[in-house]
Each structure stands twice: as C-alpha cells, then as structure tokens.
Structure 1
Amino acid sequence: MIRHILILFSVVLLFSSCKQQNNYKLVWSDEFDYTGLPNELKWNYDTVGNAWGWGNNELQYYTTGRKENAWVDNGKLHITARKEKGFPNAYTSARLTSKHKGDWLYGRFEVRAKLCRGIGIWPAIWMLPTENKYGNWPHSGEIDMMEHVGYHPDTVYFTVHTGAFNGMQHTQKGGTVYLPKAEDAFYTYALEWSETKCDFFVDDKKVFTFKKESNDSEKWPFDDPFHLLLNVAVGGNWGGIHGVDDAIFPQTMEVDYVRVYQK
C-alpha cells in the first residue's frame, strides 16, 4: 500500500513539475466539491437554441436550474439527458457554458470526465469564441476537446472547425482515439492552445495537433478569447444518424473537475 501511494505521489509530482516547466499556472477551476446546482459564478445554462434545434437538428430541450439535468454531488458534476413528458421536446438535458465567467486566450484546459452511452447520445466538451470576431459559425472557430457518439462506443473525437475547415463542408480537421472504456472510466481530456497550434491530449498522451498555417482567419481564427461548454445532446445530424434508442435513458456524463492553466 505504501509503495502504491509513493508511486502515485511521484506521478503527481512529475506532472506538476511538467506544468511548472511550461510556466503554466492554475487560473480557473471547478472541483465540484459541493452539493447542489452548478456554481452560478462559473457556469451559465445555454438554452437559446431550443427553438431551432441548435443548428444540428438535435432532439433535446436544454433546461435551466433543474437538478434532473445538471446537479453536483459526491464530488462530480452530473449532466443528464432524459426522456420525459411536459416539455416542448421529448428529451431534456443541460448545456453549461463559462461565457463571460471564464473566457481565455490561450492556455491548457483540462476536463476529467466519464461519458454516457447508447444509440443517439452525443456528449461533448468543447470551446467557442466569446465574441464572434470573424463572423458567425464557423468563421470565428470552434474547438472540440472531446466528442463521443453512442453508436461508436469505443471512440472519442477531437476536432477543429473554421471557415476553411468545417463540418458543413466535410473539411474539418481532427483526430480519433480508440478508447473502449470511455463510458465506464474517467479520462482527462486536455487542450494546449497557443499562438501557433492546438494540441489535444487524453490522460497526457498527445493524440492530435492542429497547426496554424497562415494569418488567414478562415484557417486560424484562434486569436481571441474562447469559453468552455459541457453538454449532452440527443440525436442530431451526427449523434442521431442511427436513430435514438429510448431504452437507454436516463444517461449521464460525469465530470470530476474542470481546470484552466495559463502561462
């Protein structure tokens, strides 16, 4: 037991040392060490797209301040998608953002999470520009730190969208990782974003790099503050390709912590 503790302590020290060597300092976090609704000083509920399906023909109705969809206890944030009656859509869920409460230009972003499962489910950890400096999506950019669709239970995706590289044109830039326990275990999904590139990590293993090719904002709009988003979608143009299995609900993405470092 003592040996195992010493090994774990050594690993923690090693990673802390790496962060110090890269001059990273913790500037914002939520450790979810409380019970109740998500901390309103750090998180917003995004519901603005409920009327039109969020541009992806998604099926969920995002709610506000409802423990059935977003709740913190036992040291974890739980974002839960449900099939239930009494709402404009057949499914409810939550979409949390840090907009205007946590906005950053460059840094290391870490989210440790266990994903949900089932045909039709679509959890995501991602970033959007706080101000659309170069115009509406996709021209001002999008950074997907992690996406997972239930019909590919053993795979996670990392993607960058810009005016030149985006999903609507099937020109997006990204990578995939085989992660067969993503729905059963916690992994740390991380992004290191600098002036010249975006590096993506799973448990500190680099899995994808998007490099700046030029100063053209259509290829690199990532020179303005972005904010974090955490959500669980249902169906949609990607998540719902194979339909939705109503027998899976409720489904929950659990988040152990969110941490932001800057140099």
Structure 2
Amino acid sequence: MSSRTSIHSPGVHSAPGTNPFTTPLRQSRAPSVSDNSGSARGYSYFPPQGVDASHLPRKRKFKSARLIPGEYDEKPWALAKHPKLKWERGIFYGSIVLGIAIGAFLCYMAFAGVTNHEYCLVMEDDFQTINKDIWGFEIQRGGFGSGSFEWTTDDKRNAYTDAEGLHIIPTLTKDDIGLSNDQMLDNYVLNLTTDGTCTTTGIHECSIRSNKTSGDIVNPVRSARLSTKGKKSITFGKVEVVAKMPQGDWLWPAIWMMPEGDVYGKWPRSGEIDIAESRGNSGDDYPSGGRDSLISALHWGPLPEVDAFYKTSGQHQTRRTDYSAQFHTFGVEWSENYLFTYIDSRLLQVFFVKFNKPMWERGEFSKSLVNDSALYNPWVQTGKYNTPFDQAFYLILNVAVGGTNGFFPDGVGNKPWGNQSPTAPKEFWDSVDNWLPSWGEGDKRGLSVKSVKMWKQGAC
C-alpha cells in the first residue's frame, strides 16, 4: 500500500496524475465575458484541462450589503433623541462663547493697560537743509572714546541734503584733501585746533602727526556726526527717526542720545541711550549680525569697566533683507517708569526696561571690584529708580568707521585689525583693497535720514 492515499470526490474526474483540489486553476489572459464567470479585473478562469467541473459549486455573485432605498423606511436609532445630546450641544457652544468672551476681555485689559502719555512736539525736521537751529557738527579725530578711525567734518561731501533727506557719507581722506599714501603714513601733521575747526579740547582729539616708526597715521576715513546738543533735548518723551542704514564692511551707523550735562559724572555714570545701531557688513559674512541686525541698549555704570549695558539691551534680526534696503522708523519711548525702543511700530520692541528698582541694584555693582577697590554709587542721592535716566538727553546721528571698543569683535568677519593693537588704524588702512569694494556707491554707503521727530512728555 502506498504511503500517500488519493482522495477523490464523487463525480469529479481528473486526468491521470492530477488532483483537481491540489492543482491550481489555470489563469488565462482572455478578456472578460458577459456571464458570471469573468472577474472584475478582466480575466476568465477555467478548470484544469480534462477536469469535469459540472459538479463544482459556482461562485456566488457579489451582492451589496448596503440598504436599498425604499426597503427600510425607519431608522430605529434615530427615533428617540439621546437624553444627553441637548446638554452636550449646550456645553460645546457655551464653551465657544465663553472662550470668545474671555479672549475679548483679556485683549481689552491689555489695551487698557498700555500707557498712553500726552506728548508735545518740540522738534520736527524733514531735512530740506541742515538747519543750524537744530543741528550742530561735532568735529574731531580722536575716536570719541570708542577708538573709531574716522575724522568727523562739516564738509558737504560728508553731510548733505537732497530730495531724499539727510545723508551722512564716509569718504577716503586721501581723496578729499589730496594726501598721498606716503603722507598719510609719515611726516604729515593734521591739526584741527590750528584750523579752528575742532569742537573739543585735547591734543589727541584735535591733532596727529603721521609716523611710520610708531605706526601713527592720519585718519584714513572722514565722516560726519550731527547732534542737537544745546539746541533740542528732552527729559522723558519720544523720538522717531525715519532712516535707512548704510552698506559696507566696518561701517558703524548710530542713532542715539547723550545727556546734556554730566550730572552724575563722566561716561557711563550719566548714561547713554542707543536707539538704533548697526554694522554695515553683510549678514552672510558677519555671524554677530551685520546690516540685517538692529541693536538698542542703555549704557550705565559707575565706571567704564563695569558698563552694564548687557542687562539693558536688545537685538532684532530681519530675514531675507537688511536695514539698508529701505527706510524704517527707529524710535524710543521714555518715561519715569520705563523705556523701550522699537522699529516701525510700538508693537515691534527691540528691548524694554521697567524702572522698578534702583539701577545700582539692577547692576549688582556692590558685588564688583575694580583694581581691588569697591565701587562708589553715583546715583544714591536721588532716591529714584530711573537715575541716571532722569535728566535731559539730546540726539546724535553719525556714521563711525571701525573701532577698538569691541563693537567689532576680534576674529569675526575677517577683521583686519586687533582691538588691543596700538596700530589698529594702520592695520585697517592696509586692508583698504579688501573692505572698500564692499562699500556701496554714492549715498548707499551712508546713513540716510528722511525725518526726525522729538516729543516731550506732557502738554505743550
């Protein structure tokens, strides 16, 4: 007896050596026919050759299980309403209404909580000319405490007006006054006191002799610095400047304010308000933020070594453009209780400071030592939280070039000079072929100012 037993159903005849239940059906590529033997894919199926399929059960025709319209007139589940349905709808729609009401209330409270002081316009200038009743030129070559490399002038090449407004333009010294490169580097005397143009005192601020041995050179760039000092100032109020920043490596445009008098001592004891500063470098090449970045800050402290500006500063970076592409409004709003700067609208604030504790305490100066000595609090006598920002400040517009105070950090953006180098201006000038091509043509390399408005807080 064989180990394998063939089992056949009655009436089914298979060819020798085949089993109708183990042999797969043969699939044909023949097209479908109209009878029920065809499949939905367009194939016909046939039993293996020689197999009598008359007794095989036919495949049941597909019949939809969906309800046929008209056969069922009633939906039992819909005859009676669920007792909780009414409450569920009430809770859902009630929650929506409550959410809208709460949101509206919060928006109203936020709007009502915004301080809106009364202001009086004390100065407005759209720069048809440079109005000497408003603006004065600060002329010197000493770097204004930041070690910048420009010599500021009142030359019309460095500051002029046209249909677009005021332009403050940096230019090359050798082109302006006809100096040769050898004279810039050696044996040339620049004396602004003798010329009668220097607006400050001090040998370093007003004069220099170029010397190739020491590395001292005549300032390689000239620019301009305008201020309202002694003419227009405010103690609390608003300032708005509509301006466009310059483009060019190592340009340093600034819109800022300084105190009319050093009531609490020399910088930074009497404070400084930086409304808007930028760098002319391309943002792609300057990771710290080039002309695509806007910086605002307050400078304050008992000594320059402990200037606490980093506690009261902010930076706003724009995307896919930069601040030299179009005009923006750069503003500051300042009161006894707060100070903030903004771009284009009060909604886009760069930084906000609330005067809710003494600045000495905010700066934690009691914990600091300079030259192993404790610091003196220059503001203790006022008892005010906003000192030193409780005095009259005037406005400054300028474009500086370079500097050694750290605004341009060492090692960033292929910077050609070192902040600690005694010959930094010469190192900067030696790299002129690298940075000059980045400067825009005409007024693109300058700070363009369309208008300035200054308000004091309170009624006129």
Q: 1:143 to 1:252 in 2, by over 3 A?
A: same
Helix, strand or coil: the match of 2:446?
strand
Aligned counterparts, 1:155-170, within 5 A: 155-163=293-301, 168-169=305-306
- Deviation digits for residues 31-53 of structure 1, max 9, x if unmatched? 11x24xx11111011124x2x32
CA-CA distance at 1:71 after TM superposition: 0.5
Aligned partners of 2:325, 2:305: CA distance in 1, in Å? 31
SS at 2:238 equivalent: strand
On the 8 A contact 2:300/2:308 being kept in 1, the answer is no
Q: How does 1:208-223 map to 2 (within 5 A)?
A: 208-212=351-355, 213-214=357-358, 216=360, 217=379, 220-223=387-390
Alignment pair present for 1:185 and 2:323: no
The answer to whether residue 222 in structure 2 is matched with residue 92 in structure 1 is: yes
For structure 2, list consecutive stretches of 5 or more residues without a partner in the other structure: 1-115, 178-189, 191-217, 282-289, 361-378, 381-385, 410-414, 417-427, 429-434
Query: If you compute each CA radius of gyration, which structure gives the higher value, 1 or 2?
Result: 2
Match of 1:78 in 2: 167
Aligned length: 236
Q: Which runs of 5+ in 1 are unaligned?
A: 1-20
Deviations 1:131-189 (A, max 9, x none): 0000000000000000001231210100100116x874463120000123201111100
Contact 2:300/2:307 (8 A) holds in 1: no
- Secondary structure of the residue that 2:144 maps to in structure 1? helix
User: In 2, distance between residues paired with 1:258 and 1:222?
Assistant: 21
Equivalences for 1:217-256 in 2 at 5 Å? 217=379, 220-237=387-404, 238-241=406-409, 242-243=415-416, 245-249=435-439, 251-256=445-450
Show the counterpart of 2:144. 54
Superposed structure 1 runs of 4+ greater than 6 Å apart: none
**Matching residue of 1:122:** 252
For residues 403 and 359 of structure 2, what CA distance do their matches in structure 1 show? 33
> What is aligned with 2:131?
39
Measured after TM superposition, the shift of residue 210 of structure 1 is: 1.7
Matched, 1:206 2:349: yes
Question: Would the aligned equivalents of 1:114 and 1:186 in 2 still touch at CA under 8 Å?
Answer: yes
| CA distance in structure 2 between the partners assigned to 1:225 and 1:233 by the alignment | 24
Residue number in structure 1 paired with 2:455: 261
Q: Report the CA distance between 1:195 and its aligned residue.
A: 0.7
Q: Which has the higher strand share?
A: 1
Deviations 1:2-57 (A, max 9, x none): xxxxxxxxxxxxxxxxxxx632232211111x24xx11111011124x2x321111
Structure 2 length normalisation: TM-score?
0.49
Where 2:169 maps in the other structure, the secondary structure is strand
1:221 to partner: Cα distance = 0.1
Quote the residue 2:8 is aligned against: none
Deviation for aligned residue 1:226: 0.5
> Are the aligned partners of 1:122 and 1:147 in contact in 2 as well (CA < 8 Å)?
yes
Is 1:30 aligned with 2:173? no
Per-residue deviation at 1:207?
A: 2.5
Please, which moves more after superposition, 139-148 or 239-248? 239-248
Q: Report the AA paired with residue 161 of structure 1.
A: H
Q: Deviations over 1:204-253 (max 9, x none)?
A: 12221122222753873011101000000000024544246122346211
Which has the larger share of helix? 2
Q: In the aligned structure 1, how far is the partner of 2:317 from the partner of 2:359?
A: 33
Which of 151, 158, 162 aligns to 1:69? It is 158
Identical-pair percentage: 33
> Contact between 1:121 and 1:240, CA under 8 Å: does it hold in 2?
no
The one of the two structures with greater contact order (alpha-carbon pairs below 8 A, sep at least 6) is 1
Within 2, Cα distance between the matches of 1:171 and 1:142? 11
State TM-score, norm by structure 1: 0.83
